[in-house]
Amino acid sequence: MSTSGQPQFRYTQTPSKVLHLRNLPWECIEEELIELCKPFGKIVNTKCNVGANRNQAFVEFTDLNQAINMVTYYASSSEPAQVRGKTVYIQYSNRHEIVNNKGPGDVPGNVLLVTIEGVEAGDVSIDVIHLVFSAFGFVHKIATFEKAADHVGSCHLRISYSAHTDLNIKFQSHRSRDYTNPYLPVNPTAIEGFAQPAVGPDGKKKEPESTVLLASIENMQYAVTVDVLHTVFSAFGTVQKIAIFEKNGGTQALIQYPDVTTAAVAKDALEGHCIYDGGYCKLHLSYSRHTDLNVKAFSDKSRDYTIPESSLLAMQQAPTAWENRPPAPMYQGSEFGAGGAVPGQAPGGQVPSWDPNMQAGRPNFVSAPGTFCSQTYAPSASAYAVASHQPNVGPGGASPPGQPPYYR
């Protein structure tokens, strides 16, 4: 009795200039509402996609008689009101004005809020989203996040306007991209899950193949530099980009090849093997979700071997912090030679150099039983001479970017 006391039967409801429409298709847009209602009068306000199923709407006419005309028309019409072929049920709203019609999602803007329903987190990659929305124009930026899902069903997109006018993308990651800034750094903390928690205990969820490998480095007794990784992974083909980062107290790296075939060979060959003898720097490999790494061209934690050599030379002549050369000498010349093991040299002193004369150099990896140096996989096993127990991976094998070595 605390309610208005209005009868609940539609034919006896008090008329209102606001009509309540239901059984609309959830895709219904304002224009379709207007098309349906404007023959009966002037519409001053609408609200669509109302309700849990987004299949209800309100339309407000300028005066009551227009609303009455519409209700009485369809009450006696042999043709029901329809939107997209669905019969729409129309009755007077129990309110007399549409309030607050323009929610944040209704105000047009250049940023869309997209809700992807009926999928597990990560099932729709940022690249897929990019591809879909690129059909309508250049996509500047994408930021993704997860919210508690209250819907289950197939993969549906629900799209409204965001109140944002710009997205502040700080890092490239599997969650966010800025297509207007190709030099955005890769977020070291949002790149990958540690040790592939994505693989369920049932082992059903298989990661899709990728040109980018995620390497977790276990028991990292010695420093693993970009150059070390480049040398190791170049055994299977051109390495395009490398990024090293810390994750959960461990060290991981992303290694990008130009094709999945090469990545697959490298993954199978190196999985479980150690870079150094004695079980040091054991590699665990999986496919990354990345398809293209966006890394700093030259830093102590990343390298892009695809940039033109001219750019490289410019960098050489203006050494900057990325080189991070320690004062320790020892790497001028001899260690780049085929027999370049330098006993006692600290791994940390093995610093990348871009001196072109190192091209002839070959790293001398120590082979341990069961390490990747076994002949079974390496097309360039000769490049890995067993020379010393001391990890003596030189920067050798590092060709100038743009001329990566092919060991095939």
Binding site for DNA (CB under 7 A): 8-10, 13, 18, 20, 22-23, 47, 50-51, 53, 55-56, 58, 89, 91-95, 97-101, 103-104
- In whole angstroms, how close is the CB of 29 to DNA at the nearest point? 16
User: Pick from 53, 50, 66: which is nearest to 18 by CA?
Assistant: 66
Q: How far apart are CA 93 and CA 44, in angstroms?
A: 15
CB 349 within 8 A of CB 393: no
Residue among 56 and 288 whose Cβ is closer to DNA:
56
- In whole angstroms, how close is the CB of 129 to DNA at the nearest point? 24
- In whole angstroms, how close is the CB of 24 to DNA at the nearest point? 9
Q: Is the dihedral of CA 74, 75, 79, 85 positive or negative?
A: positive
- In whole angstroms, how close is the CB of 307 to DNA at the nearest point? 48
- In whole angstroms, how close is the CB of 54 to DNA at the nearest point? 9
Tokens 């060979």 correspond to what residue?
265
- Structure tokens belonging to residue 47: 């609200």
Residue among 20 and 230 whose Cβ is closer to DNA:
20
- In whole angstroms, how close is the CB of 61 to DNA at the nearest point? 13
Residue among 25 and 188 whose Cβ is closer to DNA:
25
Residue among 106 and 127 whose Cβ is closer to DNA:
106
- In whole angstroms, how close is the CB of 56 to DNA at the nearest point? 6
- In whole angstroms, how close is the CB of 74 to DNA at the nearest point? 12
- In whole angstroms, how close is the CB of 98 to DNA at the nearest point? 4
Residue among 105 and 379 whose Cβ is closer to DNA:
105
- Structure tokens belonging to residue 379: 């097309």
User: Pick from 101, 75, 93, 96: which is nearest to 20 by CA?
Assistant: 93
3-state secondary structure of 35: helix
Helices marked H in 109-159: 126-134
Quote the radius of gyration of the chain (alpha carbons, Å).
31
Residue 261: partners with Cβ closer than 8 Å, 6 or more residues away: none
Residue among 91 and 252 whose Cβ is closer to DNA:
91
Burial track 123-142 (b if 16+ CB lie within 10 A, e otherwise)? ebebeebeeebeeeeebebb
Q: Is the dihedral of CA 325, 327, 333, 336 positive or negative?
A: negative
Q: How far apart are CA 134 and CA 129, in angstroms?
A: 8
**First CA to last CA across the chain, in angstroms?**
85
Residue among 23 and 311 whose Cβ is closer to DNA:
23
Residue 242's H or E segment, with its range, is strand 241-247
- In whole angstroms, how close is the CB of 46 to DNA at the nearest point? 9
Strands (E), 267-383: 274-276, 280-287, 302-304
Residue among 66 and 231 whose Cβ is closer to DNA:
66
Residue among 13 and 221 whose Cβ is closer to DNA:
13
Residue among 59 and 232 whose Cβ is closer to DNA:
59
CA triple 243-244-246, angle to 5 deg = 140
Helix, strand, coil percentages for the chain (3-state, nearest 5) = 20, 20, 60
Residue among 3 and 357 whose Cβ is closer to DNA:
3
Strands (E), 102-237: 112-117, 141-143, 156-161, 176-178, 212-218
- In whole angstroms, how close is the CB of 216 to DNA at the nearest point? 43
Residue 168: partners with Cβ closer than 8 Å, 6 or more residues away: none
